[in-house]
Chains A and B, each alone.
Chain A
């Protein structure tokens, strides 16, 4: 799973969000390292929706503009959990092998 996809799913894990909310949340989750733009975001959202990992939750009109909220599907939650466990396991292995000296150097 690509990092942007992982972060988008993570942003939606806490509840439904609209496009701009996802962009802001992803920037916050990644400490500003990942700045999604509209083209990348909607390309990913479209893909995730086709794969059945997210779905449209509701729509609102705010200041004459459409806001569509997305949420995770049960399959999306399961895939995110599996990916998070995989990443966590890899990170734990890396940190264990580095030992205390490696952690300080990093």
Chain B
């Protein structure tokens, strides 16, 4: 195998980090630019090139693929990524404050046994941690898909928002304000962020609807 072929294979391997649709569009020309930049003497890939390709791939995957003029979509996607990070922070806060929650519960119920506490963890804390993990993945998937103009994140997000609202209200009704104030504060911040995303999604949908209606009206009159 010649050095040039080996180099090209190396570049192709790094280009696999990019989304398939992007590769379909740009892989051949990027390869031509990379090979032209390497010249005839280069035998190996440079670390800086690989880092640049990796950063480019991450940016391409995360960035919304709609015109920047659609500000509400851009903002909603950014907030969704922040939501994923906040969700992770909420799960970490839940784990970090578990002993504090336990002592608060013991204060209000001195007769709490280890077995009873373990039952509380299994019934309430574990599902919360699992749902937080699922929510992080969901936030990321919704951000990526909504940024690519897909419709499904609107419906899924509405359901997600309803579930979070229900979870927050359930927590409040169980007295979480008393025994887990930090976790409740984090959940409230997350809920406010979701509310902002929900408003942006609805606004974008209404704008699209209004645009479609005006086009239809123009077509009828024209």
Contact = CB atoms under 8 A, between A and B. Distances in A.
A18 B29 contact: yes
A12 to B, nearest CB: 15
A50 B73 CA distance: 14
Dominant secondary structure of chain A at its interface with chain B? helix
Interface stretch (B64-72, B83-91, B107-115, B204-212): B64-72
A85 B25 CA distance: 34
A39 interface: yes
A37 B48 contact: yes
A68 B36 CA distance: 14
Interface residues of B, number: 29
A41 interface: yes
A20 B65 contact: no
Interface string B40-73: 0000000011001111110110010111110000
Interface string A14-33: 00001110010000000000
B117 interface: no
B30 interface: yes
A52 interface: yes
B3 interface: no
A39 B36 contact: no
A38 B11 CA distance: 11
Given A38-B53, A43-B59, A65 B67 contact: no
Contacts of A68: 29
Contact of A66 (B28, B59, B66): B28
B32 interface: yes
Contacts of B37: 20, 23, 37-38
The 6 A-B residue pairs with the shortest CB-CB distance in the complex, in nearest-first order: A39-B56, A65-B32, A39-B52, A37-B52, A66-B28, A19-B33
Given A37-B52, A65-B36, 5 more contacts: A20-B32, A38-B34, A39-B52, A39-B55, A67-B32
6 contacts: A37-B48, A39-B49, A39-B52, A43-B59, A46-B60, A65-B28
